[in-house]
Amino acid sequence: MRKYLKFIILCLLAALVLVWFVRNLDWAEASAAVRRADWRLIAVAVVVIWLTYLIRAFRWRALLKPLAPRASLREVFAATTVGFSAIFLAGRAGEVVRPAFLPLRDPEVRPGAAFVTIAVERIYDIVAVVVLFSANLLMLRAPGIDAGSYARIREAGLILLVGALVGVAALVWFRSHAGAVTRWLNDRLAKLPGVVNRAGRVVTGLFEQLARTLGVLTDARELLVTVGWTVTLWAAITLANMLVLRAFGFPLGVSETVFVLGWSLVGSLVPTPGGGAGTYHAATAYGLTAYLGVAESEAKAATIVLHLVVFGSSLFFGLYYFLRSGVGLARLRELAAPAGPVNDGMNDEIAIPAEGEKRIVGELPRAARA
Please list the pLDDT of the chain residue by residue as tens digits (370 residues).
566 677 788 788 888 888 888 888 888 999 999 999 999 999 999 999 999 999 999 999 999 988 888 999 999 999 999 999 988 888 776 788 888 899 888 989 988 888 888 888 888 888 888 888 877 877 776 665 666 666 776 677 677 778 777 877 877 777 677 777 777 777 777 777 767 667 776 677 767 766 766 665 666 787 788 889 999 999 999 999 999 999 999 999 999 999 999 889 888 877 788 888 888 999 999 989 988 889 999 999 999 999 999 999 999 999 999 888 777 666 655 655 544 333 333 333 333 333 334 433 334 334 333 3
Categorise residue 362: left if φ over 0, alpha if ψ from -120 to 50, beta otherwise.
left
pLDDT of the residue at 334: 62
The rounded distance, in Å, linking the Cα atoms of 86 and 94 is 5
pLDDT of the residue at 212: 66
Write down the domain spans for the chain. 37-353
The rounded distance, in Å, linking the Cα atoms of 345 and 202 is 8
pTM metric for this prediction:
0.77
